[in-house]
Amino acid sequence: MKLKRRTQPPPQETIVSLIDVIFFLLVFFMLVGRMDATAPFEVSPPVSAAGESLPKGGTTIAVAENGALALDGEAIERPALLAHIADLLSKKPGLFVRINAHGEARLTNLLPLVTALERAGVGDVVLVITPNPA
Amino acid sequence: MKLTRRKRNMALITMTPLVDVMMILLVFFMVTSTYLDLDMMPMVQSESEGVAAPADPAPTLLIRITASGEARLRGQPLTAQSLASALASQPRARVLILPSGGANVQALVSAIETATKAGAENLRVVRLEAAE
């Protein structure tokens, strides 16, 4: 006797759940990531366990190991940088400035800059550090 | 005469190009982002401006940072214990960090960390002027 196998219809794969998952992942990466312009030179911030959480927003000044400066990812000289900061400050008085300095940068390249920023009227300047869990 | 409109089939929207675009966006964000865990240390705070010198000046503990990056308190290498014991004998003392311009940022941050660990509350960094 010959048994005839019943032909089953192919299972319906819905693509909708896949789209949902991809969409959630996309939104997650867009929300979690903060788009920051990276400096045109290498900056590895100093390591310390005594830091506080870094707030979002503001302007980033990067200081390279050799003292080169960058404002929001664009290399800039110090006078132009201060002029730009003064310009930003006139538009937004409560300007928040992050200084992303290389850990090996000399303090002569950092502390006078902080003083100049304070003189220009910036009331909120922070130094970016890498947290050390130890 | 009554004209009957021919029923048109509903246009079928295919999902595949949408998924493709989303996939490309997802891969773009995953590849271009670098996730860094960063903290901060305040350097200038607006509320600390305009603080008048107290009538009864508090004693000062001076931490010097040499050009080689070594932090010293009263001529001895700075440790959290030495600063904590100095602060215990002078509880109202303010801690002043005087860094050499030749020291690096890491040395300053480490000194601030040690001072914070020792419980220094009134902590200030002497800032250098720019050579114009």
ipTM comes to: 0.73
Residue B34 belongs to some domain of the structure: no
**Residue B132 binned pLDDT confidence (cut-offs 50, 70, 90):** very low
Domain that holds residue B85: 58-125
Q: What is the CATH number of the domain that holds B85?
A: 3.30.420.270
Residue B86 belongs to some domain of the structure: yes
Residue B44 belongs to some domain of the structure: no
Query: Does B31 contact chain A (CB < 8 Å)?
Result: no
Residue type, A85: I
What is the per-residue pLDDT across A15-68, written as a single tens digit (0 to 9) for each?
778 778 888 888 887 777 666 777 888 888 888 888 888 887 788 899 998 888
For residue B51, the model assigns a pLDDT of 52
**Residue B55 binned pLDDT confidence (cut-offs 50, 70, 90):** low
d(Cα B80, Cα B16) in Å, to the nearest integer? 62
CB-based burial label for A130 (10 Å; 0-12, 13-18, 19+): middle
Count of domains for chain B: 1
**Residue B22 binned pLDDT confidence (cut-offs 50, 70, 90):** confident
Chain B hits for A104, CB-CB cut-off 8 Å, are 104-106
Domains of chain A (ranges plus CATH)?
Answer: 47-131 (3.30.420.270)
Residue B73 belongs to some domain of the structure: yes
Mean pLDDT of B47-61: 62
Higher pLDDT, A35 or A104: A104
CA A36-A42-A44 angle, 5° bins: 80
Q: Which of A19, A32, A48, A102 to mutate to test the interface with B (most CBs of B within 10 A)?
A: A48
R_g over Cα of chain A: 25
What is the per-residue pLDDT across B88-130, written as a single tens digit (0 to 9) for each?
888 778 888 888 888 888 999 888 888 888 877 788 888 766 5
Mean pLDDT of A105-109: 88
For residue B118, the model assigns a pLDDT of 82
Contact assessment for residue A61 and residue A82, using Cβ atoms and an 8 Å cutoff? no
Q: Which of A82, A95, A98, A127 to mutate to test the interface with B (most CBs of B within 10 A)?
A: A127
Residue B104 belongs to some domain of the structure: yes
Percent of chain B with pLDDT over 70: 84
Residue B13 belongs to some domain of the structure: no
Residue B3 belongs to some domain of the structure: no
